[in-house]
Amino acid sequence: GIQVEQSPPDLILQEGANSTLRCNFSDSVNNLQWFHQNPWGQLINLFYIPSGTKQNGRLSATTVATERYSLLYISSSQTTDSGVYFCALRGEAGTALIFGKGTTLSVSS
Amino acid sequence: NAGVMQNPRHLVRRRGQEARLRCSPMKGHSHVYWYRQLPEEGLKFMVYLQKENIIDESGMPKERFSAEFPKEGPSILRIQQVVRGDSAAYFCASSPAAGPYGYTFGSGTRLTVV
């Protein structure tokens, strides 16, 4: 099955810093999403991005499908950005979304 | 348009009891997926259902676990004779179809087995 690797596993930032989270995958995908799981356990859908670049406020994401990676950029980080960021993807249509192990982000003031 | 609704939010069961977790997909979504998240771990796929059909149950434990998505009503994940190792957060997601659509997740049910 398709393999998903996220890096770094942990990230500690001061408020205001920028960061880049990476997701590598082993095969072509037709669905890639980035999620944020906040400290209360809720899963927030950040981006649906099987290819290309999208931006939403301080967050943006880029997927280069031909090179099998996706990047999530967080600019001017805030304490509310803390939590776990998951990359999840699906290879073939009709199969389930597979999650990476996540990047745990801690932003301190 | 309500999102994916899961209930209960928290469920406590004694060892040996049955746990029933419910998931109502978003309006217009006919595909439902169940995931389990053990403490300090990522989400693991369990089962993928369409109305009245199980499409993929490759992530479901062979015993004690079952899932259904009837023609009417919510999807149900049933765990019989629960054990302490079943304590986890169970998330449900839905999508409009099997194609390149994003999944929307519910808030999860946190099961604690005492």
Give the tens place of pLDDT for each residue, A27-86: 888 789 999 999 888 899 999 999 999 999 999 999 999 999 999 999 999 999 999 999
Residues of chain B with pLDDT under 70: 1, 98-100
Which of A 70-89 lie inside 8 A of B, CB atoms? 86, 88
Residue B81's DSSP bridge partners are none
Q: Say what the pLDDT of residue B100 is.
A: 60
Chain length of chain A: 109
Closest Cα in chain B to A31: B100
Q: Say what the pLDDT of residue A104 is.
A: 96
CB-CB neighbours of A39 under 10 Å: 10
Which residues does chain B have within 8 Å of residue A48's beta carbon, measured at their own beta carbons?
101-102
Q: Say what the pLDDT of residue A39 is.
A: 86
Question: Alpha-carbon distance B73 to B60, whole Å?
Answer: 22
Q: pLDDT (tens digit, 9 = 90+) per residue, A6-24?
A: 999 999 999 999 999 999 9
Write the residue in B48, B99, B105 that is nearest to A43 by C-beta.
Answer: B105
Q: Which of B77, B100, B103 is nearest to A44 (CA)?
A: B103
Write the residue in B56, B59, B99 that is nearest to A93 by C-beta.
Answer: B99
Which residues does chain B have within 8 Å of residue A50's beta carbon, measured at their own beta carbons?
100
In single-letter form, the type of residue at position B20 comes to R
